[in-house]
Amino acid sequence: MTRVMLNGINVLGAGGQAVVGSVVPCIAGVAPDITFDLVLPADQGYEYWHSTQNLNIHLMKRPANRFLGRFADIYLDISRWSREFNSDMCFTLGDLGPIHLKIPQIVLLHQSLLVYRNSDFEQLWTTTERWKFRYTRWHFGRMAPHCAAITVQTPVMAKRLHQTYNIPMDKIHVVSSALPAHLRTATGEIQPNAQMMAVNKPYRLLFLAAGYEHKNHCILPALAETLRQRGLANKVHVFVTLDPTVRSYERDLLARLKPYADCVTNLGRLPSDQVSAAYRAASALFMPTLVESFGLIYLEAMAHGCPILTSNRDFARWMCGDLAFYFEPTSPVSIADAVERFVTEGAPAQYAELAARRLADFPTSWEPVARHYVEILRQCVA
């Protein structure tokens, strides 16, 4: 029987955990003839996961120092575990695996910053973050040529991966994520966000993003000045979702935005059960982001019937097509132009129908996604 090690030792974030929790059981379910050994970090909320007939769960303790633990995983532990499990293949579920493995390795690439280079936000990184991504990109560049296959979520990421690391296209597989359950069901009678509705302006723009440099929150002060100059500040209001307790970058942003309280309000980080209420209160989703890998936020807006104002970038164009107002995200004038067009023209004609058609392009369950992954696994084992 074929034996595959699923390397999830670096799946620490909530988004990654959600994907692993959805797709891994499906992978095991659609391939009963394969034995899977899923390696996960201990003390990260996986303690209640249980092994099944062909899926063995292994919770591994890691050093307290995350960086040392990561180096130990990549250079020592993953190879050792693959020998202990007698694995025929390793499927790395998070961007980086060993540079060399004696068995075929497939890597699931979801970190967009590995294939995008952009000084507009990289100059805002701390010294530690610069060195972290410099090493990560170097390691990925060394590892990628030795991989049996690399999976990405969109054709845009596939093209970028090919161009950046010269990976042959026949090694790159596009496997889209399934729509999350909350986007596949009716939102019901949800009351709009009260804080947003309390702002008495006809156009409320929801900037639903955590405070990372590539999300481009730093354009907001200049945008607010431009909106004032054009007389749009009395019509348009931007709502951000920053948490000043998380990173100093977010605290600094909010301090810079204090003089623009007439244009920008911080809602704080929104729990998942309050996101629909924010969409219900919003006139449009506002995303001046510089980099995305998949762009689930766009599909979320479509599912809520919320128009989109976003960056004129390849990832946004592929996801949104004709469903968005586009602008140059580094130019407050270009953004204000798009906002003014939205105020004047409103949402694209037949927005709801076009949005539903775009949503239908994505799998509605994880089973076809899992089957696609298993097909790639079988090809590489063969």
**How far, in Å, CA of 215 to CA of 278, rounded?**
19
Q: Name the strands in the sheet holding 105-108, side by side, starting at the edge strand that comes first in the sequence.
A: 55-60, 34-41, 2-7, 89-92, 105-108, 149-152, 172-174
Tell me phi and psi for residue 7, to 5 degrees. -85, 95
CB burial string 23-45: b at 16+ within 10 A, e below: bbbbbbbbbeebbbbbbbbeeee
How large is the average pLDDT for residues 16-23? 75
Entry pTM: 0.88
pLDDT of residue 21: 78
Q: Is the pLDDT of residue 52 over 90?
A: no
Lowest mean pLDDT among 47-56, 215-224, 295-304: 47-56
Q: Is the pLDDT of residue 13 over 80?
A: no
Report, in angstroms and rounded to the nearest whole number, the Rg of the chain calculated over CA atoms. Answer: 22
Lowest mean pLDDT among 110-124, 142-156, 295-309: 110-124
Q: Are 185 and 265 in contact (CB under 8 A)?
A: no
Nearest residue to 267 via CA among 300, 235, 244? 244
59 alpha-carbon distance from chain centroid: 25
**How far, in Å, CA of 16 to CA of 92, rounded?**
12
**How far, in Å, CA of 248 to CA of 329, rounded?**
23
Q: Are 57 and 36 in contact (CB under 8 A)?
A: no
- The predicted-structure confidence for 319-353, as pLDDT tens digits, reads as follows 999 999 999 999 999 999 999 999 999 888 889 89
How large is the average pLDDT for residues 272-281? 91
Tell me phi and psi for residue 193, to 5 degrees. -55, 120
**How far, in Å, CA of 108 to CA of 92, rounded?**
6
pLDDT of residue 246: 81
CB burial string 192-221: b at 16+ within 10 A, e below: ebeebeeeebebbbbbbbebbbbbbbbbbb
Q: Is the pLDDT of residue 287 over 90?
A: yes
Residue 39 has which token pair?
Answer: 């390696």
Chain mean pLDDT for the chain: 90
Q: Is the pLDDT of residue 119 over 80?
A: no
How large is the average pLDDT for residues 117-145? 88
> In residues, how long is the chain?
382
Q: Where are the alpha helices (DSSP H) in the chain?
A: 14-30, 66-72, 78-84, 119-122, 127-143, 155-165, 181-184, 194-197, 220-229, 248-257, 275-281, 296-303, 314-320, 332-345, 351-359, 366-381
Confidence of residue 7 (pLDDT cuts 50, 70, 90): very high
How large is the average pLDDT for residues 235-256? 92
pLDDT of residue 298: 94
Q: Count of CB atoms within 10 A of residue 105's CB?
A: 25
**How far, in Å, CA of 372 to CA of 3, rounded?**
18
- The predicted-structure confidence for 159-212, as pLDDT tens digits, reads as follows 999 999 999 999 999 999 888 776 655 556 788 999 999 999 999 999 999 999
pLDDT of residue 47: 79
Virtual CA dihedral for 148, 154, 155, 161, nearest 10 degrees? Answer: -50
Q: Is the pLDDT of residue 263 over 80?
A: yes
pLDDT of residue 90: 95
How large is the average pLDDT for residues 27-38? 92
pLDDT of residue 187: 55
How large is the average pLDDT for residues 136-157? 94
Nearest residue to 305 via CA among 365, 270, 361, 353? 353
Q: Are 152 and 158 in contact (CB under 8 A)?
A: yes
Compute CA distances 81 → 21, 52, 76, whole Å. Answer: 21, 19, 9
Q: Is the pLDDT of residue 122 over 90?
A: no
Tell me phi and psi for residue 374, to 5 degrees. -65, -40
